[in-house]
Structure 1
Amino acid sequence: MEAVTSGSSIREASNTFLVPYTTLNSHVNNEVLYDQVGRPTKFSIEEEVYLEQAVLALHSWGDPLSIEEFLHISEEYASSLNKSNLFPAGKPTYDWLRSFLKRHTNLILKKSYPLEKKRAALTSEQIEEWFGLLSKVIGENDLANWLAQLFNCDETGLSDSISYSKVLVHRRTSNAYRIQGGSGGKSFTSVMFCASATGFLLPPFVVYKSKRLYQEWCFGDHQRPIFLILKSNFLAKKKQ
């Protein structure tokens, strides 16, 4: 094709590159129809683009779709277009989803991690405000020269039941999160860590939801952590 475009005749290009004359002639004169190969898709190209945009929009809002949720949305969409009869089972299936993802390479399935609503609602302005306040406190109290008096404390929770469902996200997504209402699970253990700016670490503080403290829970802890048992996990409730 490039040779013909550069000035060679179709016959010359055919002999030079060993391409049948009729084939090359058809391509040069636009007599070849480049229709999509294979079985036609259930949705049109435009309709599938709408589905892809919906997935990306929900992902950008912090609420990516699981496989079941996407299939349900696709089923509702097919019903609104009177296309439910095009699917053998009357609704989109997992096989259709795999084909859909092959056609829309911007989307991938990725394992999600739970994210609490309060953490998801945190804004960049709030983070900047917090660091601004921290810098002000350090400056006013000359703590930059007294690092041993500067401590940071953080609490984390360990749940007995955390779901890691796969969700549809953009291909460039590093980590996928799904917003959840609470801590998840029935049992929740809270652990608090505190360390100074010099690296000195205080013993960890562990809160169990239990009526009694069992010795096997404390086995092997060389840093002598502090344990507290509560009938109901107060810290977990406060976080919710």
Structure 2
Amino acid sequence: MVSFNCNFRSVYIQKVLQILQPTMGRTYKRKAGCRSYKDYGDEDIEKALEKVVNSNWSINKASKEFKIYYGTLFNKYKGLHVQKHGGQTVFSKQEEEAIIKSVVTCSDWGFPLNIEDLQMVTKSFLDRQGRQVSRFKDNMPGRDWVYSLIKIHNDTLTQRLAANIKRARASVSPEIISQYFNNLKKSIDSVPPSNLFNYDETNMADDLGKKKWLYRRGKKYPENIINHLKSAISIMFCGSASGILLPPYVIYKSEHMWDRWTENDPK
């Protein structure tokens, strides 16, 4: 009896979720055939117009044959009301592509934009043209509009977390790195591994400050170039080519060290 009640409850919950599904998300997905208008595509309209032009069909005959409203087919034939069905976009296709291209260019240069930056870029674009968009408050688009723009151009643009790097590190090119290792190989050619030590330093920031930025889709290492980072604790490592590792050296950003900072440290 208990298992029956549990199964009945799970089935009941699933049915309720199916009923509420269209209202639970931001993006509503229509089921095929659930509306009585425009259950045809652009290809059907093109075929109907070809029959009218090439086969001397009347618009009424093509409308009945392809199950397209007479008014819709008449407007397409006469070139009337050529705008897309539903709400019209603020920018043309060319203007949207220009905005996306500028965002991608900034990310390629190491200075990516975030959602707020894209809002400001769009507002500046409208202000320079002297256009006023009623659906935007003071020509400032909302975050939902920006998310919709990114979704439409998701094959080009994506939002990702970036690793903050300084300008000096970003200026190092692959050619400089290759030249360094070529010179290093000549310098250590006759040195035994026990005399070769590698020293490295890493930072443990108290506030990473990572944010999501807009990048070209497929970018392998998203980075954000900044002039200053947050305060951090420096940890230094040193090891030899023969496998000997020295104890790590920790530098705290403080004039006096507390005893509890050294608890459970490696000996």
Q: TM-score range by the shorter chain?
A: 0.7 to 0.9
Report the equivalent of 2:158: 108
User: 1:188 and 2:237 equivalent?
Assistant: no
TM-score by length of 1: 0.74
Report the equivalent of 2:203: 157
Report the equivalent of 2:5: none
Contact 1:42 1:86 in 2 (8 A): no
User: 1:75 and 2:118 equivalent?
Assistant: no
Deviations 1:145-189 (A, max 9, x none): x2121111111122222211111111212332111112x22x321
Given candidates 166, 183, 191, the residue that maps to 1:133 is: 183
Distance in 2 (CA, whole Å) between partners of 1:38 and 1:66 is 29
Report the equivalent of 1:48: 96
- The DSSP-based 3-state class of the residue aligned with 2:162 is strand
Contact 1:42 1:83 in 2 (8 A): no
Deviations 1:31-82 (A, max 9, x none): 5988534311111111111101101111111111111111111110011223
- The DSSP-based 3-state class of the residue aligned with 1:209 is coil
User: Unpaired segments of 5 or more residues in structure 2?
Assistant: 1-42, 52-62, 71-75
Report the equivalent of 2:137: 89
Given candidates 244, 247, 251, the residue that maps to 1:207 is: 251
User: Unpaired segments of 5 or more residues in structure 1?
Assistant: 10-19, 225-240
Higher strand share: 1
- The DSSP-based 3-state class of the residue aligned with 2:237 is strand
One-letter code of the match for 1:118? A
Percent of aligned positions that are identical? 29
Shift of 1:89: 1.2
- The DSSP-based 3-state class of the residue aligned with 1:87 is coil
Shift of 1:86: 3.6
Q: Which moved more, 1:157-166 or 1:65-74?
A: 157-166
Question: Aligned-pair RMSD on alpha carbons?
Answer: 2.8
Distance in 2 (CA, whole Å) between partners of 1:59 and 1:155 is 27
Trace 1:220-231 onto structure 2 (pairs within 5 A): 220-222=264-266, 224=267
- The DSSP-based 3-state class of the residue aligned with 2:252 is strand
Distance in 1 (CA, whole Å) between partners of 2:210 and 2:220 is 15
Shift of 1:206: 1.0
Spell out structure 1 runs of 4+ moving beyond 4 A.
30-35
Trace 1:143-182 onto structure 2 (pairs within 5 A): 143=191, 146-182=192-228
Residues 95 and 199 from structure 1, CA distance in 2 versus in 1: closer, same or farther, beyond 3 angstroms? same
Given candidates 66, 71, 74, the residue that maps to 1:23 is: 66
Distance in 2 (CA, whole Å) between partners of 1:108 and 1:204 is 39
- Ranked by relative contact order (alpha carbons within 8 Å, sequence separation 6 or more), the top structure is 1
Distance in 1 (CA, whole Å) between partners of 2:201 and 2:146 is 40
Contact 1:75 1:84 in 2 (8 A): no
Residues 36 and 195 from structure 1, CA distance in 2 versus in 1: closer, same or farther, beyond 3 angstroms? farther
One-letter code of the match for 2:185? S
